[in-house]
Amino acid sequence: MTKTEKILNAALQLIIERGLERTPMSKIADKAEVGMGTVYKYFKDKEDIINAIYVSIKEEEAQLVFVNNGHNPDVRATFMNYYGRMIDYFLDNTLKFNFISQYAFSPIIKTTTQKKAMSQFYHFDDHYRKGLEENLFKDIKAEHMTFFVFSAIAYWIKAANELHIKIDETYKTVLLQMAWDAIKK
């Protein structure tokens, strides 16, 4: 694991567990087993770390969601694949999921960061357009559809975490069906 990764991991864990205000840079350095100076070698400042974490998670997520992409011509099947994998990713990476949920709306995340993160998901636009062409979807904007489904999944998992409900395959299927019914014409 590179020092950069060590720092990002340490910061992620501390920030989620204790909150941003209560995680000084020194704690991040300690947990990453790295000197303070090293942190500042790789990152401009604290906010830079937050933004880097955000992008790295979104990149990892995209990588997983779009693996083996582009072979299935069926719009519904593709939908289930994409979002099924997204659910899996977030269920397997609770810390990262919490981070995204918390900072997606925060002013700490710069516009450029948000754009960079979003750009990973351009496949969604293709998928959406295809669905529109086949007259499968309601008449809404692509971004809105993406947001809608992501948010549904996000809060779903959040609720499950809080209520200590286990999301099994059956439940996952219901969730995916709900999302599909929502956008389906």
Partner DNA sequence: ACTCATAGACTGAATAGTCATTCAGTTTTT
Partner DNA sequence: AAAAACTGAATGACTATTCAGTCTATGAGT
Residue 148: CA atoms inside 13 Å, Cβ hemisphere, count? Answer: 16
Residue 54: CA atoms inside 13 Å, Cβ hemisphere, count? Answer: 25
Of the ranges 32-40, 53-61, 82-90, 146-154, which one interacts with DNA (CB under 7 A)?
Answer: 32-40
Residue in the block written with tokens 């704690």 = 27
* Whole-number Å distance between alpha carbons of 78 and 74: 6
Q: How far is the CB of 106 from its own copies (least distance, A)?
A: 6
Q: Which residues bind its own copies (CB under 8 A)?
A: 16-21, 98, 101-102, 105-108, 114, 138-141, 143-144, 147-148, 150-152, 154-156, 158-160, 162-163, 165, 171, 174, 177-179, 181-184
In sequence order, the 6+-apart residues with CB closer than 8 A to the CB of 19 are none
Q: How far is the CB of 44 from DNA (least distance, A)?
A: 7
Q: How far is the CB of 11 from DNA (least distance, A)?
A: 11
Which of 142, 63, 128, 69 lies closest to 96 in space, CA to CA? 63
Residue 24: name its binding partner from its own copies, DNA, none (Cβ under 5 to 8 Å by kind). DNA
What is the number of other CB atoms lying within 10 angstroms of the CB of residue 93? 16
- Give whichever of 123 and 158 is closer to its own copies, judged by the CB atom: 158
Q: How far is the CB of 88 from DNA (least distance, A)?
A: 34
